[in-house]
Amino acid sequence: MEITSGMSNCRSGCKTQDHVNWGECARAANITVSNDPIAQSIKATDKELSAYRDARKQGIQPRSTKMHDIKAAVMASNTLGKAVQA
């Protein structure tokens, strides 16, 4: 004798409602989690840090690791013809 709680093992949006458990139902639905905002933030930070490292290799000392400070220091260095120490 099988005892059921009256609840389905499937998600409410499942079209078949015939899965053995919720995990099987979720896998069948190919549910994914998107972290695009996080990935974009990490990508932007990596880009800034890479630009900062490049500037430091040239002897330039930007005011911060933010892209606007890096660009300003590089532009000032190019204008003056020597590395700028912010």
Predicted confidence (pLDDT) per residue in 29-66, tens digit: 887 777 788 888 999 999 999 999 999 999 999 999 99
Please, what is the Cα angle at 53 between 52 and 59, to 5 degrees?
A: 90
Considering just the CA atoms, what is the radius of gyration of the chain in Å? 27
Cα separation, 86 vs 84, whole angstroms: 6
Contact status, residue 47 vs residue 58, Cβ threshold 8 Å = no
Cα separation, 12 vs 21, whole angstroms: 13
Contact status, residue 65 vs residue 48, Cβ threshold 8 Å = yes
> 3-class DSSP state for residue 20?
coil
Give this prediction's pTM: 0.58
Sequence spans of domains, the chain: 1-32, 37-80
Residue 82 has pLDDT above 50, yes or no: yes
